[in-house]
Amino acid sequence: MTKITIFQGDITVQKVDAIVNAANTSLRGGGGVDGAIHRAAGAKLDKACQRLGGCLTGEAKTTAGFNLPAKYIIHTPGPIWRGGNNNEEQLLQNCYQNCVLEAEKHHCHSIAFPSISTGVYGFPLKKAAQIALQTLIKSNSSLYITFVCFDQQTYRVYQETLAALLN
């Protein structure tokens, strides 16, 4: 039985084993949640990311959490929304699946996700919430999963989507 909690807040302050970064394929930091995580984790994160040599969309790579309360950061580049006919849904599903696999590989008990791809990458929020929650429910993982929604609209859509999926 998958345990999923949704709340509104800042992912960088979460006291969990791993937080997920909605990264870009260079892994060199950017805007949004990626920038916030790099700022909070400190400069050592960029050095560690450089050594990883980038990451393909939908895949996931792990670093230490450095100055964050979280032990690990799992970096996954989400798909950029290009109208929906460019494998965006499958790639977003891959992000969530691969992050769960990475967390399990590192023996994590808890993981926090941001809403991958729904910021600058433009993935429609409702569709993204459905894919995110459905994929995590289907993963049947024993991880404690938290969704950390930054803004109220994202929080509301994830809450409503989870309620609908459980009905």
The binding site for ligand ADP (CB under 6 A) comprises 10-12, 22, 32-34, 36, 78, 114-121, 148, 150-151, 154
Q: C-alpha angle with apex 75: 119 to 2, nearest 5 degrees?
A: 85
Nearer to ligand ADP, 19 or 100 (CB): 19
Strands 61-64 and 72-77, sheet pairing? antiparallel
| Residue 92 beta carbon to ligand ADP: minimum distance, rounded to whole angstroms | 10
Nearest Cα neighbor of 21 from 58, 72, 73, 90 is: 73
Query: For 41, how many CA atoms within 13 A lie in the half-sphere containing its CB?
Result: 30
Minimum Å distance from CB 85 to ligand ADP?
19
Nearer to ligand ADP, 22 or 74 (CB): 22
From the CB of 81, what's the least distance to ligand ADP, in Å? 9
Helix (H/G/I), strand (E/B), else coil: 84: coil
Decide if 17 is catalytic: no
Nearest-angstrom CA–CA distance, 55 and 57: 7
Report the residue number, 10 or 160, with the smaller CB distance to ligand ADP.
Answer: 10
Enzyme catalytic residues: 34
